[in-house]
Structure 1
Amino acid sequence: MMRLTLFSALLISTSVYSASTIEIFAANELLSDQGQQYFDIDELKRATKASVEVYNVQALENAELRVSQGLPADAKEAEKIARKRMASKEYRDDFLAIKKAVPGVLKVATYQIKKIPAFVFDHEFIVYGTTPIDALNQYKKFKRTRQ
């Protein structure tokens, strides 16, 4: 009986400080293969059972640059070419990337993200400029102080 009580208490104490959602806002360099070695999001996923969503704050800009590359200065001609690109298979992934990037842009505005990387825990607590695990530890400390 003592083991069960101790185990239950341990489960409750760790789950109290765990986030249910974590949103990560980062840039190209941290999300690249090279950046992953310093910014291990998978480690954060393993350390918590939270739903983790990653937003590349440069995704919209990246896609727009690819789609608008080589457009002429004349607005009517540029619009004509852009419409052709929208219908082409060659640019389909870029337009899908733009569509996918919009929710991240809206969340940056909603949370009033000031710098990156930023970690938003349970829509209530933001940690800036650190590693994923350090951000999680800061959130846990915040939750403990609020109890």
Structure 2
Amino acid sequence: MKKSIIIDVISYLLVLLFVYTGASKLLSYGFFYAQLHKQPLPEAILPVLSVAVPVGEILVATCLLVPRFRKVGFFASLLLMSAFTLYVGYILKFVPGNKLPCTCGGVINMMSWRQHLVFNSFFTFLALVGFYLERKQSYPEQKKMLVV
């Protein structure tokens, strides 16, 4: 399979994930904001997170759709998914009973915390592979643009 096809498939899977979760959070913002307040996070950062997370997810998805910004999109995906995965790991390890509500958005918030860990780990791995492959990818049309 051509490397560019693999990059495209990984990119589209991440776009689907980030657009779905970002849009779900924005469309049900009140619910997302209420769930966020139940998390073990400092109260002062919650207003910023409530906007930055869904908008950031949509911006990352946009970067993944534009070949010129795809490397940045994969790197940002890797950072976001790593942060989400580490957070889920923290919940599983340190929160008794893992009874906190999920703030993921959409049907994804119906997963258990263990399912989230597997799900997030899978998408973190995809972002890492995408970043690695994209880093080595060359685009002739981009080289032409740089020369002009």
Compare the two structures and name the one with the higher helix fraction.
Answer: 2
Q: Which has the larger radius of gyration?
A: 1
TM-score by length of 2: 0.33
Compare the two structures and name the one with the higher strand fraction.
Answer: 1
TM-score by length of 1: 0.33
